Structure formats: structure tokens, C-alpha cells
């Protein structure tokens, strides 16, 4: 039997990158999948991909920084599939990446916190509320943090701050709701071959292919396994954390970075 057969999984930021990979992995594990993202085209494409493979999926356009949209997302999940068993809170913005702290505007700071940190809090608030009410109660939640959230990150101070905040939210929620059957963990992701990483590398390279190649080579050199990760490798970890195989794991930050941060922690 599949690890998550009959369960319902919600994925924010599910239209690309780690979110897309996780949505597909949840479906392969037997879960019914609800995807949320701001862009409807790619989100619908992922849902259709799951359905073509024989799974069940629903796409709900959502801006996780807006409370009413997050509430509607959870309501739509339950209306379609009856309950909520697993959630992967993965949506994030990258507006303040590659900016010195003094270059970030107040509006950019507010937007980064609204999407990356407030968005995770809103999702937790509504997901946990639903998991407590359903019969039987309980569930498993994974929040996407980053190796940048484990320490400082030059030219990504605001992004790092939001990702560090997610770790605090994760541990606090785990402590509050463990006795009521809800497990909450965090994924500290390293470098994965995603649109976010590739866009950042392109910006650093300034359109120069040789410079881009040099940056990628340097990045790989910093990673113990010598390569940038595949999104599917992170997705399988998320599915495991949501499965019964991880039934004794909560309040944990699981670092998945190919050894990138091993020398610094």
C-alpha cells in the first residue's frame, strides 16, 4: 500500500520548484493533492499532470499573505476531499535576494515578511484549526525554511530572517499541538535546481554564460556531494516527514543540502 493512500495533502507554492516536486511526490504516495500558488496557469498544469497519472488534484489560486485567501484554500480542500491530513507550507518570495541590507526598501521588507513568514503563520493557523476539528483529528505539517535560516546570509539578510522565523514558528507549533495529534517539522533546504535558484544565478552572472558557468562550478564546490540537488530529492523528504514512518518526529529541522552547511554547524 502507498505510504499516504487515502490521505489529503495541501502544498503551497505548488506550481514550480520544490512545491511542484512535492505535489507530484504526494500523488505518487497515494494522496489526494491540493495545490496553491499565485499563478493559475502553472498551477493548473501541475494538477492536470497529477490527474493524467491517475491521481486526484485540485488547484486553488492563493496569495498566502492574505488571510481570507488562506482560509478559502483550506475550506476548498475540505469541501473537495473531506479533510486535511498533510500540509507543505512552501510558498515564498525572493524579492530581497541579492540585495544589501541597506538597499532593501521598507515596502520590500514588509512584502518579504508578509509572504515568507506571515504566510507560513497563516497557513499553520488555518491548517491546524482544521486538523483539530476533523474526525479523527491530527495531521502532519512541513514548513520550508532554508540553510540561510540557520545563520547569516550576506546579501539576503531579510530572506534569512524570514527563514529563521519559520524555524521558531515550527518548533512552537510542534510543542503546542503534539499532544493533540499534529506533528510539525521544517525542511531546511540547500541548493536545488529550481526557478528561484536559477534566477538568482542568472542575476549574479549578468547575462554572461561564462560567468554563469563559473558561479555554478563554485556553488558545486561548496557542496560536499559536489552537485546541486534535484527538487525530487527534497520532495521525498517532505513526504516521509508526513508519513507514519516519521510518527515520532516533530519539532525537528531536517537539513537537506548535500552537505553544504556541514562544516558550519
Mean of the pLDDT values across residues 24-31? 98
CA-based nearest residue to 24, from 3, 2, 47: 47
- Residue for cell digits 552537505? 259
Percent of residues, the chain, with pLDDT higher than 90: 86
Is residue 237 classed as helix, strand or coil in its secondary structure?
helix
CA distance 253 to 187: 6
CA distance 139 to 84: 7
CA-based nearest residue to 65, from 95, 34, 92, 94: 92
In this prediction, residue 1 carries a pLDDT of 53
Copy the grid coordinates of residue 103: 538597499
- Residue for cell digits 495533502? 9
In this prediction, residue 46 carries a pLDDT of 97
Predicted model pTM:
0.95
Mean of the pLDDT values across residues 84-112? 92
CA distance 108 to 238: 29
- Residue for cell digits 491530527? 138
In this prediction, residue 204 carries a pLDDT of 86
Residue 127 clears pLDDT 60, i.e. is over it: yes
Mean of the pLDDT values across residues 70-80? 98
Mean of the pLDDT values across residues 135-164? 95
Helix-helix angle 17-28:40-52, to 10 degrees: 20
- What CATH fold (topology level) applies to the domain 8-192+234-264? Rossmann fold (3.40.50)
Q: Is 159 a catalytic residue?
A: yes
Bridge partners (DSSP) of residue 255 are: 188
Mean of the pLDDT values across residues 118-145? 98
Better-predicted residue by pLDDT, 219 or 115 = 115
CA 47 → CA 2, 8, 74, distances in Å? 19, 14, 17
Residue tagged active-site, from 159, 177, 219, 248: 159
Is residue 36 classed as helix, strand or coil in its secondary structure?
strand
Percent of residues, the chain, with pLDDT higher than 70: 100
**Which tens digit of pLDDT belongs to each residue from 80-96?**
999 999 999 999 987 78
Mean of the pLDDT values across residues 231-253? 98
Mean of the pLDDT values across residues 139-163? 95
Residue 61 clears pLDDT 60, i.e. is over it: yes
Residue 69 clears pLDDT 60, i.e. is over it: yes
CA-based nearest residue to 196, from 110, 91, 75: 91
CA 91 → CA 3, 205, 256, distances in Å? 24, 25, 18
Amino acid at each position: 500500500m502507498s505510504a499516504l493512500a487515502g490521505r489529503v495533502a495541501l502544498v503551497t507554492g505548488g506550481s514550480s520548484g520544490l512545491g511542484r516536486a512535492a505535489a507530484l511526490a504526494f500523488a505518487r504516495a497515494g494522496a489526494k493533492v491540493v495545490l496553491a500558488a499565485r499563478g493559475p496557469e502553472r498551477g493548473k498544469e501541475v494538477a492536470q499532470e497529477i490527474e493524467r497519472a491517475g491521481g486526484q488534484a485540485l488547484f486553488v489560486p492563493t496569495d498566502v499573505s492574505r488571510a481570507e485567501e488562506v482560509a478559502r484554500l483550506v475550506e476548498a480542500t475540505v469541501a473537495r476531499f473531506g479533510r486535511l491530513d498533510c500540509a507543505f507550507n512552501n510558498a515564498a518570495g525572493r524579492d530581497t535576494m541579492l540585495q544589501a541590507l541597506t538597499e532593501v526598501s521598507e515596502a520590500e521588507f514588509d512584502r518579504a515578511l508578509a509572504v515568507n513568514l506571515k504566510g507560513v503563520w497563516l497557513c499553520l493557523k488555518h491548517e491546524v484549526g482544521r486538523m483539530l476539528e476533523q474526525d479523527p483529528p491530527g495531521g502532519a505539517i512541513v514548513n520550508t525554511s532554508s540553510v540561510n535560516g540557520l545563520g547569516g546570509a550576506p546579501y539576503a539578510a531579510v530572506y534569512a530572517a524570514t527563514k529563521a522565523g519559520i524555524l521558531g514558528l515550527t518548533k512552537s507549533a510542534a510543542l503546542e499541538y503534539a499532544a493533540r495529534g499534529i506533528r510539525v517539522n521544517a525542511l531546511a533546504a540547500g541548493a536545488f535546481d529550481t526557478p528561484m535558484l536559477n534566477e538568482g544565478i542568472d542575476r549574479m552572472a549578468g547575462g554572461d554564460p561564462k560567468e554563469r558557468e563559473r558561479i555554478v562550478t563554485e556553488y558545486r564546490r561548496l557542496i560536499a556531494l559536489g552537485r546541486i540537488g534535484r527538487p525530487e530529492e527534497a520532495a521525498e523528504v517532505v513526504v516521509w516527514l508526513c508519513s507514519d514512518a516519521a510518527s515520532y518526529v516533530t519539532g525537528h529541522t531536517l537539513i537537506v543540502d548535500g552537505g553544504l552547511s556541514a562544516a558550519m554547524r
